Amino acid sequence: MMPDEDAAKVAFAALGALVEGNPDRASDLTALLGMDSDGPRMYGVLCGIAICGERVLRDTYGDRAPDLARGGRWSVDEIHPGALDEKPEHGFALHFLVARCNEDDAESLRLFEELYAGGAEAYVRGVAQLLADVATLCIAALAVKNRAKAEGG
């Protein structure tokens, strides 16, 4: 198994590849990581990816982001109740990201264990969806920053 530091580099290279618009490279890197990792490592990798998402969200929301120290919490509001149940990988990715944003170790571990126990296909879809969702957050944040720069802000 590759050292944890190398695994982290591969995970963030996969995220970077998605942000740059290269999903084939991201897929190859994610597959490499998955084949070389056990459950505990992949849990750590997913936590790292989710923390990137959290940082983007906190940067985007600024002082409007929930303040955990004052009892604030990130939450999920479904516009169409039950929509996340239709595609479990979407539900996993969103709930895992929110659990990490709330620093809820027990919930993020529970979600990961449920995903891991759900079989290879569900596991791969969940990992890929979390990676894609965080990449989408990064792309959106970059677009906002670039627009602000172009407008002189």
The structural domains of the chain, with segments of one domain joined by +, span: 4-150
pLDDT digits (tens, 9 = 90+) for 89-116: 999 999 999 999 999 999 999 999 999 9
pLDDT class of 76 with cuts at 50, 70, 90: confident
Contacts 24+ apart (CB under 8 A), 107-112: 108/47, 108/50, 109/43, 112/39, 112/42, 112/43, 112/46
Q: What is the pLDDT of residue 7?
A: 86
pLDDT class of 46 with cuts at 50, 70, 90: very high
Q: What is the pLDDT of residue 135?
A: 92
- Average pLDDT over all residues of the chain: 89
Going by the DSSP 8-state scheme, the letter that residue 40 receives in this structure is: H
Give the contacts of 119 (CB within 8 A, at least 6 positions apart): none
pTM of the predicted protein model: 0.86
Q: Residue holding tokens 């409007």?
A: 64
Give the contacts of 121 (CB within 8 A, at least 6 positions apart): none
Q: What is the pLDDT of residue 108?
A: 96
CA distance 62 to 2: 37
Rg (CA), the chain: 16
pLDDT (mean) for 60-72: 93
Of all residues in the chain, the percent with pLDDT exceeding 70 is 99
Q: Residues 130, 95: contact at Cβ < 8 Å? A: no
pLDDT digits (tens, 9 = 90+) for 10-32: 888 998 898 888 888 988 898 88
